[in-house]
Amino acid sequence: MTIGKIGVIGAGQMGNGIAHVMAVAGYDVVMSDISQDALDNAMNTIRGNLSRQAGRGKISEEDMEAAIARISTTLALSDVAKTDLVIEAATERESVKQAIFEDLGPHLLPHTILTSNTSSISITRLASRTDRPEKFMGFHFMNPVPVMQLVELIRGIATDKATYDTCLGIVERIGKTAASAEDFPAFIVNRVLVPMINEAVYTLYEGVGNVRSIDQALKLGANHPMGPLELADFIGLDTCLAIMNVLHDGLADTKYRPCPLLTKYVEAGWLGRKSGRGFYDYRGEVPVPTR
């Protein structure tokens, strides 16, 4: 089917990035959130990111203005439902996502495709709570969305070929690369990445190294662009913990047990960059390790 208008639910880091790339590719976008402040901040972020792209010659000033004009914002979920495709990019909690899809249901157009940007939750289970499991799939972008080239496409057990092909076409139109993943906990990227981060936290917890030495070791010894603890702060420690819990619960293997230190940081509200403290303290001019 032809997609002209896309709804994005959630105006946070992922949601505003998705709205950005969709608008640049020529789609009309309706972005919603429960907070007007979040929507205003998202539009400011999008304008700033587009301006940087224009300054580097990646897009023209005209294309930048046209992309911004394609994005509208709303506090009403019913506005998002009147689109060809919905991308849910809310908090990584299954109860929140289920409630969103249930609220959307009565307002959806008959042809609307539903997708979730979840990084780990079962697509089949989310789809089963809707009236269109055949038109539901995982549409997982990487962070930061305007920069990262990969999108994971995850089919639930009921997802039909037309839905998959439509989403694949969108990925190609926005200039990114699709990786098809089966619907098992955390899919491909986070199935590999987040246990590595969790192991780095165990390495810190057990005193094998401190924050700085662990990150330096992986950057210089494995040629990673960012150390695992620095990356955890960038992703959000609450998100990392949520993914580890999904893996541990879904696969029933003790190797996915979240590190107690990761749990403790989340309990403290030290969630990484977004809260000002995580494995690093970001409140000063230069990030300082907290352990």
Which residues are the active-site residues? 119, 140, 152, 190
- Cα 160 to its chain centre, rounded Å, is 23
- The DSSP string of 115-160 is EE--SSS-HHHHHHTSS-GGGEEEEEE-SSTTT--EEEEEE-TT--
Distance CA 203, CA 116 (A): 33
For residue 141, list its beta bridge partners. 151
Binding-site annotation: residue ranges: 10-15, 33, 92, 97, 119, 143, 274
